[in-house]
A and B are shown apart, each in its own frame.
Chain A
Amino acid sequence: MLCILLGVLALHLLVFILLIVSTASSQWSLEKEGHTDLWYNCHSDQNGYHCLQASTGDWIQAVQALMILAVVFCFVSLLAFAYQLFRLFKGGRFYFTSIFQILASVFVMCAAIIYTVMRPRSERDYGYSYVLAWVAFPLSLISGLIYLILRKKD
């Protein structure tokens, strides 16, 4: 039983760390000599390394908001798991934990989709933050579904 508990917790923490790294680092897109989105637009030229605001429109703010919300919901789900671990009645399911985790995965999915669709064509490649966001989406969905089928027993 301890193995399942530790495994589920480890998956949750992994999702949480992936979400934080994807949100905080500004490497959603790579362009020549630099990287941009979600927060800063940094490039290096002959004068050095410059960083500007990545203010490319309203959609980038929506992506920022959705990623932050995903991080918040994943954290709340972690707290709900800790709470329900000790306070749930016998045979109960971890509904709260599951709902928050699934909502977090939905938010990550929306953020990644909006970013993919609205990205300006001129940018070349996707950076590692973008990849981490897409990796975090199925992992968080699986984690949420595991909580749904998990039952508490004595």
Chain B
Amino acid sequence: MLRVLALASVVLLGIAPQASQAITVYTSWERHALVGSDIRLSCSFFSWRFVSEDVSFTWRYRPDGSRDSISIAHYAGGEAYTDNKGAFKDRVEFVGNPKRRDGSILIKNLDFSDNGTFTCDAKNPPDIVGRPSSVRLLVFETLPIQAGVITGAIIGVVLGLLVLIVVIYYLMRFLVARRVFSLNVSRNVEGPQLSILP
């Protein structure tokens, strides 16, 4: 028992310092947008340490079907730098607040050629060990309806109507029993028997 405790404490002490030095970056999984619109891609991180003066964010873009990625935005040393000669020239703006762990960028006037994967890499020295996180951008001419929305809507409406009709029916019966209306309804409870009569 003592040996198990000793082993467990050694393992935990071995893991803990490494956990406190790892940074976790968060972005969305997938974003949909219309042609010509603007989109804000959010990126934030979790770090065990306070936000340092040397915090940095780097955004990379990899087009669909390509294996290379290019940098389009970089924030370091309190200054934001954006793409000034590539496909995103004058279209990218750094709108995040690094002091609040927010490294979001705004991309204006989207086009079909912007389909691809955007990767955000955040570093908070001395917390530098971490994986960058990617968000996939899909640009549409018209936004498609997500799978299941129409299905759910039809089912919901029909079942709602059903519930409404049942409620109205029982309401009418209740009102008849209270002699608000004058209908002749009488019901007996019998045992189960069936026959087919014309």
Contact = CB atoms under 8 A, between A and B. Distances in A.
Interface of A: 1, 4-5, 8, 53, 55, 58, 61-62, 64-66, 68-69, 72, 85-90, 149-154
Given A88-B190, A90-B188, A90-B190, A149 B151 contact: no
Nearest to B145: A58
A127 to B, nearest CB: 20
A65 B190 contact: no
Contact of A61 (B151, B188, B193): B151
B194 A87 contact: no
Interface string B37-61: 0000000000000000000000000
Contact of A58 (B150, B155, B191, B197): B150
B12 interface: no
B188 A53 contact: no
A5 B194 contact: yes
A10 to B, nearest CB: 14
Nearest to A100: B162
A150 B197 CA distance: 7
B87 interface: no
Contacts of A64: 151
A53 B190 CA distance: 51
Given A151-B196, A152-B194, A72 B159 contact: yes
16 contacts: A1-B193, A53-B147, A62-B150, A62-B154, A64-B151, A65-B153, A65-B158, A69-B159, A87-B189, A90-B188, A150-B195, A151-B194, A151-B197, A152-B192, A152-B193, A153-B197
Contacts of B190: 88-90, 152, 154
Contacts of B145: 58, 61
Given A53-B147, A61-B147, A4 B154 contact: no
Interface in B127-173: 145, 147-155, 158-159
A89 B192 CA distance: 10
B121 to A, nearest CB: 31
A68 B156 CA distance: 11
B179 interface: no
A109 B162 CA distance: 19
Contacts of A58: 145, 150
A109 to B, nearest CB: 15
Given A65-B154, A68-B155, A72-B159, A154 B193 contact: yes
A66 B154 contact: yes
Given A5-B194, A90-B188, 4 more contacts: A61-B150, A62-B150, A89-B189, A153-B195
Contacts of B151: 61-62, 64-65, 68
B187 to A, nearest CB: 5
B93 to A, nearest CB: 34
Most buried by A among B145, B150, B151, B188: B151
A153 B194 CA distance: 5
Interface centre among B150, B186, B189, B191 (most CB of A within 10 A): B150
A69 B161 CA distance: 12
Given A55-B147, A61-B148, A69 B158 contact: yes
Nearest to B158: A69
A72 B159 CA distance: 9
A149 B198 CA distance: 7
